[in-house]
Structure 1
Amino acid sequence: MCPVETDRWDWMREELAERERTGRLRQLDTCTWLENGWMLKGGRRLLNLASNAYLGLNPWLTDADWAALQLACRSAGEPGVRIGSGASRLIAGHDPQHAELEREMAAFKGKEACLVFTSGYMANVGTISALVRRNDVVFSDRLNHASIVDGIVLSRAHHERYPHRDMNRLEQQLKKWSVGGLPVSAGGTMPQRGVRKLVVSDAVFSMDGTKAPLSDLVTLKERYDAILMVDEAHSGGVYGAEGSGLCHALGVQQRVDIMMGTFGKAFGAVGAYVAADDIVIRYLVNAARTFVFNTGLPPMMAALVRTRLAEVRAADRARAELHRKAALFRDCLTAAGLHTGDGDSHIVPLLLGTDARALTVSAALAAAGVAGVAIRPPTVPEGSARIRFAPMAVHRDSDLRRAADEVVRIVREQQHKDVMGEIV
């Protein structure tokens, strides 16, 4: 009897079809960046309100940039600009540019040492899974980035999620896991002495634009003898003296044990770093699997980031413009009665509720010349689909006002259609 022929990828087709049916199918669209915060996408010229390049630093290499790169690499002993690391940095991939970048970033963050990773995702996953293991516990804001969640899962530690910025709930959880308090673990047993407690939080939450209560977090971590790790991905370069981050802006940087940040957002490059005490960094070199077993950041990019660090530190005017323009855009939306959440940062979400409504508004915005991407679950909680707007320092006020007018017009038209549909 002949075996019945089946398509072994049927389950994929079914899942993708279901995602398309529910409005959650993701796909890639080629984008070409233009000057003054514009882009080409799908044949349309759009105002780019969807990127993380907050400071609007030049995204293209100039001849002067290339000459500076060659000089930096040759002065370190290389015959030219090396494109790739060629290996894990523990084998043959540790370039002088990596070492210099880490030294400069440690000084910038006011920590003893720093370790550069290839991306923010790699930094969070590797660091968290190295710091805690089975029977340890991580306390994480419910709206933390997926890379934090994945790092906790891979660590196999207990995962205590607290409601967004709810310090009362966090303290209850810390008490439960503290010797001398009510130390009952998730499994119903008394945790052993020596259980590591790690508190992790974004500094600025990427999809809400809200800020973590960092002063309260450091107080609680000290009260309950926990480690505190703060993800400065969306606040680095944007807050603090010379763009040093929200921890510095609030004066708590020395009380935060571990600061992570990226070069792919305000810095406009790629890569990430972890800054901490020297012992922590030396431990991560040995225990962070996403560092040990990963090809190093290209030396060319490490050299570029060193140049970009100097630009970020000198970008006080761009930071001021970014915050002013984000406030301008938010005020235009809220004045029209639109819901932009509880944040007051440079990230401006437009909360729309359903996936279908967010997709409809996003498509209408593209037709009107505005890039505003629909953000849907699981990136955000169920029922909170939105458009996430991110103005840049280089956007012109007139462009932002026009974009805001289009947002208001499109949302009102959609609201009218929703009302008429309910009446019918």
Structure 2
Amino acid sequence: MSLDIELRAALAQRKALGRLRSRLNLASAQGVEVEIDGQPYLNFSSNDYLGLAQNSELREALAQAGGRWGLGSGASHLVCGHSSEHQQLEQELAAHVGRDRALLFSTGYMANIGAVQALLGRDDAVFEDKLNHASLLDGALLSRAKRQRYGYLNYEQLELRLGSSTAKRKLVLTDSVFSMDGDCADLRRLSALSADYGASLMVDDAHGLGLLGDGRGAALHFGLDQQQLPVYMATLGKALGSFGAFVAGSETLIEYLVQFARPYIYTTAMPPALAAASRVALKLMQEQGWRRAKVGANIAYFRRRARELDVPLSSSHSAIQPIVLGDDKKLMLVAEQLRQRAYLLGAIRPPTVPEGSARLRICLSAAHSKKQIDSLLQCLAELLESA
């Protein structure tokens, strides 16, 4: 009883702040057009950047693989859950991002926690951008290393912290493309700073793989080899339209993670049929460069039309285009009005983003048409003018 009372109080407090989260129940496959509670919506909130999540070839690949492999993998990778599909997917991902070897994890959250926790200990130090994804922040906490956070994209502050550290091992953590702002970290500069101060660099490329570097990711986009960016993580659930994640790097790094990354060791492997379908998704991403080109064209078109309609823009040139409104109540009012007009956008409030930076998070896809983008922006312009 006492626990429920305490929990209800915490929930009531969050509700009073207008920050109580709720889930949507989709009645359709993921895509640009989705159905919720019997109503159609134009979806600008999905990370399915290349429009692969409901691709017919992937559906067929998953169905065929399910017929062969069934559903569950049955065990962790280190017991009897590691199939030939997992093995081949790891090899193909490593080759795609230009690394010696890759290691599959069930989620990006587990990949980041597993890698950071395995690589650091009490005598070490971790340096992290304040707006890093929660999984990187939590990995640093679990590692028990000394945590030093630097201001968002503030590399001068990072250099001061690196220069004053006497830790045994130093690890710099950053997103490549930041999930709420859409800005891209300067990985070339981060790599140089890490090298100057005896640190290693780890990058979460969840929102870069498939889009940056001709689809091969942020490391290739910035021309960084395995030595310059030794720990690379990316997910399969965004541009690839699938599910799961991987860490890629040297043979030594990956073998070390096999032995010491607890979320890898003690978790049931992803279904082998899903690994098989992800291999097809990777192949489609490689062969269908028009999808990546369409995303780039949609980003440019969105930003041009937004300027013409006086819709406020951020500095982002990625597929993530936030419209910062600042006030939580104003945000939720505009978001609800958009829902009433059948537009689905992310309404992001603290604590996910800093105080005073509540925003609409617009995600652009290769599947969006110019007509759909125009329609959204016209609606946004009208609502923002009257809000």
Range into which the TM-score falls when normalised by the shorter chain: over 0.9
Q: Could you say which residue in structure 2 is the equivalent of 1:46?
A: 41
Aligned CA distance change for structure 1 residues 409 and 136 (closer, same or farther; 3 Å)? same
- Pick from 108, 111, 114 the counterpart of residue 120 of structure 1: 108
* TM norm structure 2: 0.96
Q: Could you say which residue in structure 1 is the equivalent of 2:354?
A: 381
Aligned partners of 1:100, 1:82: CA distance in 2, in Å?
18
Q: Could you say which residue in structure 2 is the equivalent of 1:205?
A: 178
Alpha-carbon contact 2:326-2:359 (below 8 Å) kept: yes
Aligned partners of 1:8, 1:37: CA distance in 2, in Å?
42
Alpha-carbon contact 1:327-1:346 (below 8 Å) kept: no
- SS of equivalent residue, structure 1 residue 31: coil
- Size of the aligned set, in residue pairs, is 385
- Report the Cα offset of residue 135 of structure 1: 2.3
Aligned CA distance change for structure 1 residues 401 and 316 (closer, same or farther; 3 Å)? same
Deviates more, 1:267-276 or 1:15-24: 15-24
- Report the Cα offset of residue 232 of structure 1: 0.7
Deviations 1:205-231 (A, max 9, x none): 010010000110111111111111111
Q: Could you say which residue in structure 1 is the equivalent of 2:196?
A: 223
The amino acid across from 1:65 in the alignment is A
Alignment of 1:227-306 (within 5 A): 227-241=200-214, 243-254=215-226, 255-306=228-279
Aligned partners of 2:268, 2:102: CA distance in 1, in Å?
18
- Pick from 54, 57, 61 the counterpart of residue 52 of structure 2: 57
- Report the Cα offset of residue 58 of structure 1: 4.7
- Pick from 24, 27, 52 the counterpart of residue 29 of structure 1: 24
Provide the alpha-carbon RMSD of the alignment.
1.7
- Report the Cα offset of residue 100 of structure 1: 0.8
Within the alignment, does 1:160 sit opposite 2:155 as a pair? no
Aligned CA distance change for structure 1 residues 368 and 105 (closer, same or farther; 3 Å)? same
- SS of equivalent residue, structure 2 residue 373: helix
Deviates more, 1:394-403 or 1:30-39: 30-39
Alignment of 1:137-216 (within 5 A): 137-177=125-165, 183=166, 191=167, 195-216=168-189
- Report the Cα offset of residue 66 of structure 1: 4.8
Deviations 1:182-214 (A, max 9, x none): x4xxxxxxx5xxx11000111100100100001
Q: Could you say which residue in structure 2 is the equivalent of 1:419?
A: none
- Ranges in structure 1 where 5+ consecutive residues have no aligned partner: 1-5, 74-79, 178-182, 184-190, 415-424
Q: Could you say which residue in structure 2 is the equivalent of 1:421?
A: none
Aligned partners of 2:189, 2:45: CA distance in 1, in Å?
31
- Report the Cα offset of residue 332 of structure 1: 2.3
Alpha-carbon contact 1:36-1:395 (below 8 Å) kept: no
Alpha-carbon contact 1:36-1:396 (below 8 Å) kept: no
Alpha-carbon contact 1:227-1:257 (below 8 Å) kept: yes
Aligned partners of 2:88, 2:307: CA distance in 1, in Å?
45
Structure of greater Rg: 1
- SS of equivalent residue, structure 1 residue 30: coil
- Report the Cα offset of residue 302 of structure 1: 0.7
Aligned partners of 2:326, 2:225: CA distance in 1, in Å?
36
Deviations 1:286-312 (A, max 9, x none): 111100111111111111101111011
Alignment of 1:305-384 (within 5 A): 305-384=278-357
- Report the Cα offset of residue 37 of structure 1: 1.1
* TM norm structure 1: 0.87
Alpha-carbon contact 2:31-2:53 (below 8 Å) kept: no
Aligned CA distance change for structure 1 residues 12 and 64 (closer, same or farther; 3 Å)? closer
Aligned partners of 1:126, 1:64: CA distance in 2, in Å?
32
The amino acid across from 2:44 in the alignment is L
- SS of equivalent residue, structure 2 residue 336: helix
Deviations 1:334-388 (A, max 9, x none): 3333332221111100001011111111111111121112101111111100010
- SS of equivalent residue, structure 2 residue 91: helix
The amino acid across from 2:188 in the alignment is S
Aligned CA distance change for structure 1 residues 291 and 253 (closer, same or farther; 3 Å)? same
- Ranges in structure 2 where 5+ consecutive residues have no aligned partner: none
- Report the Cα offset of residue 163 of structure 1: 0.9
Same amino acid, percent of matched pairs: 38
The amino acid across from 1:48 in the alignment is N
Q: Could you say which residue in structure 2 is the equivalent of 1:130?
A: 118
Within the alignment, does 1:411 sit opposite 2:387 as a pair? no
Aligned partners of 1:258, 1:84: CA distance in 2, in Å?
29
